[in-house]
Chain A
Amino acid sequence: MSVNGDPVEILCETQQTLLDCLRDELYLTGTKEGCSTGDCGACSVTLNGRLVCSCLVLGVEANGCDIQTIEGIGSEESLHPLQKTFLEEAALQCGVCTPGFIVAAKALLDEKTDPSEEEIRYWLAGNLCRCTGYDKIIKAVIKAAKIMREENEQRTNRRAR
């Protein structure tokens, strides 16, 4: 399979989930386990572009697939707008749900550039946060969407020129 654009090959037990494979076989521990039943979203990744709970996907099912994890979003040198706005808006306290929220929010913004507050709240209803009351997370996503729209506009303008 491909993880964050890199070709990887692993051996796993049949009952191991994609989450187990990422964490225990590839040491990509940015993806977290909060429940292992698909209720908390801490293990959010994209599989062939689709947002999934990696605890509900078996490792063997990911054979040949393209997986994107938090480790593939931005870097210390160039953070993704969502990562920047999560920091600026103080959208994290303990930080354990944060990777899942960023992966899930990115999947939303990749699909929809200008979601309403309600759309964001429903899209992220599968990601649990117990620290923040969601307020600052929602604000961070709204702000990131705006930044991404502006960046897109600039790119389009540049191309037009």
Chain B
Amino acid sequence: MSSVRTEELDRLNQETIEEGNRFKVIGTRPIRPDGIDKVTGKANFGADIVLNGMLYGAIHRSPHAHALIKKIDISKALKLEGVKSIITHSDLASLKPTDKNSNVNFFDLARNVLAKDKVLYDGHAIVAVAAISQSIANKAAELIEVEYKVLKPVMDIKTAEKKSSPIIDKNIFTEGLSEPNKKPSNTAKKVEFLLGDPEKTLNEADIVLDRKYSTQTVHQGYIEPHACAASYTKDNQATIWCSSQGAFMVRAYTAKLCGLETSKIKVIPAEIGGGFGGKTTIYLEPLAVKLSQKTGRPVKLVMNRTEVMRATGPTSGGTAHVKLGTDKKGNFIAGLIELKYEAGAFAGSPVGLGCMTAFAPYNLKHVKCTGWDILVNRPKAAAYRAPGAPVAAFAVESAIDEVASILQMDPIELRLKNCATEGTTAPYGVTFDKIGHKECLEAGFKSSHYHKKLKPYQGRGIASGFWFNIGGNSSAEIMINEDGNVTVATGNPDIGGSRASMAMMAAETLGIGMENVKPIVADTESIPYSDLTGGSRVTFATGKAVVEAAMDLIAEMCRRAAKFWKVDPKQVEWTNGNAICIERKDIEPMSMKQIAKIAFKTGGAISGKANINVKKGAGPGFGVHICDVEVDPETGRVTVLRYTAIQDVGKAIHPSYVEGQLQGGAAQGIGWALNEEYVYNKEGNLMNTGFLDYRIPVASDLPMIETILVEVPNSGHPFGVRGVGETPIVPPLAAVANAVSNAIGKRMTNLPLNPIKILSEIG
């Protein structure tokens, strides 16, 4: 059976690539299936859950960035009428530093959700309470008294590296050194990727650009704060309702932190109000489960914006030191980069990914990428859209822009001369299959935007970006209902329109209309395990599972038709949504509706399924962005005049939502480049904990964001899909910085490019 399925998939794959856009559903722009709920306010997000007898939770957080906890006094809070339970770190499962897997260190995770002995950043959770109302819970959280021994905060990379600075975590010894550290350090890890002999080759270069860059801590800025509700019942089963990027991730992590077996927890995914990587971990769920376990009542925990900013997922600020060597004609000879990323208070910045992506868009034989993962007293870094790549790309793409101006070469031409193509081996060891970097650069060069004339104080910047994209574990099940319509179940939260793309791929494969398909996001007990929604993997890998489930369903429907017709199943084929008997013209084809009617007579209900682990074939994503800005020489304010995002998307299933990914990623990157940064005072308290001071782009800050979808099909997917979600945040930092630098004639190397920095440059 499985070999048949693979053959059929191969055939479909071949047809797809050869026939171009001859699909009925794919490539069209239908209304998304969950759309009406979302425009009428009916969709239930994390904070919208209400349960009978529900209690409300609140969290007491640290006012210090770095301090030892000497004593926690909960007596006053406990006496408050309406308070039902209070928990601290000691209520969680007892874990050791060795409790970790390749993705997550559970010892750290447990100390992050509730501090143990020591608080490590401003806003670090210490105590959680449950009470009969939100106002009583809030009051109780205020009544918690914690005695501290305040330590000197370590707020930046420079301070963290100083030998005289306090050690944030005494369990950290720098990993990856040739000679192991004997003393604890704030540097958690060194990583290195080496190709050829870059140091020697650099000496042979005609031009060497040597430049240092820096960026600040930024937040994903999803509009929906973290929220969950949990109910623990007497039979030791827990149910969690929450918004997250992966219900199975929430289940596994919560189980570990609560000391429960995974299967005792059921996670029901709510709609998710943005994540961008920030909801690939947990903060509230184990607390809600434990509070529910203690009180015997459901408990709801919802963060406010201040809590989100102080204690959840920013991504690392960092520094980059680039050396790029070229010959006189602009051929890249050697590239070196040293990256230092803030990890926050626990090890694990995405610096390794920064190293791997830095020079990946280019064909370089001699590369060295060194990365340092450095602890500071800031919140634990969480994933943020193409984690690690934007900071590295900011540095490398800025350096390339500068080299282009030294060589007096067009910056697209310079990139075209050096861009990675099929067969190029990237510094991280992978040899690329068919990729679309060159095609994106060519599309950029051909665009009308690129040739529009600029005025004084206006500048144009271009930059490329790369992201791996991943596959992973995905499950899908397709069930035929009695009326012949199908339900497509997957285990991946729909963060930006994936229900639409799943339904479209199912409809295309089955040969039926989109209106006959209902896609659902199933809970952890209704679908087998699926990895979380991240890595730009859902349309690719879960989409592949949906196509395979549809093929499985088709095979079963053909068998049923054969049984009903009393013919050999080999004589039955599936064409345009009908089972047909090849050799008997007298037999009328049977539609899905008719097959649904004979289901019970031919063996019972009909479904198809696929549970797959896609290890290969996630086509890498490349993008090129063009940005025009105008700088006001009096105020230093930057206005983005025009912006074009170009990307190789493989095959756009629903082009509108693909464009939306490009536009959204560009907007986030523009915010990162121009406005956004965490601002701390000397004591290590976060000063901008709301959207007023942590200013993400608003509608009046941006122009329309033009998109050009380049389609170089990915041979690893039946319809040619590449992941598209993360690549678009990689180029904008440098595209904007290059534009500003070109507008004012000064190289801008430190983000964000706020008016103060710009004014000080143009004097």
Contact = CB atoms under 8 A, between A and B. Distances in A.
Interface in B275-308: 275-276, 304-305
Given A37-B305, A76-B36, A89-B656, A96 B273 contact: yes
A132 B38 CA distance: 15
Nearest to B668: A130
Contacts of B135: 13, 15-16
Interface in A63-120: 69-71, 73-76, 79, 82-83, 86-90, 92-99, 102, 118, 120
B650 interface: no
B48 interface: yes
Nearest to B45: A96
A75 B690 CA distance: 34
B31 A99 contact: no
Contact of B664 (A13, A70, A73, A130): A130
A31 interface: yes
Nearest to B692: A39
Contacts of B275: 94
Interface residues of B, number: 60
A54 interface: no
A83 B135 CA distance: 35
Contacts of A86: 35, 39
A33 B663 contact: no
Interface string B32-64: 101110111111110110100000000000000
Q: Interface majority SS on B: helix, strand, loop or mixed?
A: loop
A141 to B, nearest CB: 10
A79 B660 contact: no
Contact of A132 (B304, B664, B690): B664
A71 B41 contact: yes
A35 B305 contact: yes
A22 to B, nearest CB: 10
Interface string B473-510: 00000000000000000000001110000000000000
A125 B700 contact: yes
Contact of B702 (A15, A40, A97, A134): A134
A146 interface: no
Nearest to A76: B36
A61 interface: no
B304 to A, nearest CB: 6
Interface in B207-248: 220-225
B48 A29 contact: yes
Interface string B566-581: 0000000000000000
B275, B276, B698: which has the most chain A beta carbons within 10 Å? B698
A21 interface: no
Contacts of B697: 133-134
Given A42-B223, A94-B271, A30 B42 contact: yes
B664 A39 contact: no
B272 interface: yes
Contacts of A23: 47-48
A57 interface: no
A95 B38 contact: yes
A15, A39, A96, A138: which has the most chain B beta carbons within 10 Å? A96
A33 B225 contact: yes
Contacts of A132: 660, 663-664, 667
Nearest to B665: A133
A93 B699 contact: no
B466 interface: no
B274 interface: yes
Contacts of A138: 699, 704
Contacts of B680: none
B696 interface: yes
Contact of A90 (B32, B222, B223, B495): B32
What class of interface size applies to chain A in its complex with B? 35 or more
Interface in A1-55: 13, 15-16, 20, 23-24, 27-37, 39-40, 42
B666 interface: yes
B663 A135 contact: yes
B106 interface: no
B29 interface: yes
A90 B41 contact: no
Interface in A114-161: 118, 120-122, 124-139
B40 A71 contact: yes
Contacts of B40: 30, 70-71, 73-76, 79, 83
Contacts of B31: 87-88
B305 A90 contact: no
Contacts of B41: 28-31, 69-71, 99
Contacts of B274: 93-94, 96, 130-131
Nearest to A71: B41
Contacts of B698: 124-128, 134
Contacts of B34: 95
Contacts of B134: 20, 24
Contact of A92 (B39, B272, B305, B666): B39
B691 interface: yes
Contact of B663 (A74, A79, A98, A133): A133
Contact of A130 (B48, B222, B705): B222
Contacts of B341: none
B556 to A, nearest CB: 34
A131 B664 contact: yes
Given A130-B222, A130-B276, A134-B667, A87 B660 contact: no
Given A42-B223, A134-B699, 13 more contacts: A29-B48, A74-B40, A76-B40, A83-B39, A94-B271, A94-B274, A94-B275, A95-B273, A122-B700, A125-B698, A128-B691, A130-B664, A134-B697
> Which A-B residue pairs are the 8 nearest by beta carbons?
A30-B41, A96-B273, A133-B667, A95-B38, A90-B656, A133-B663, A70-B41, A39-B691
19 contacts: A28-B41, A32-B45, A36-B305, A37-B691, A37-B692, A39-B692, A79-B40, A83-B36, A90-B656, A94-B496, A97-B273, A98-B38, A125-B698, A130-B223, A130-B274, A130-B276, A130-B667, A133-B660, A133-B664
Interface of B: 29, 31-32, 34-36, 38-45, 47-48, 50, 133-135, 220-225, 271-276, 304-305, 495-497, 654, 656-657, 659-660, 663-668, 690-692, 696-702, 704-705
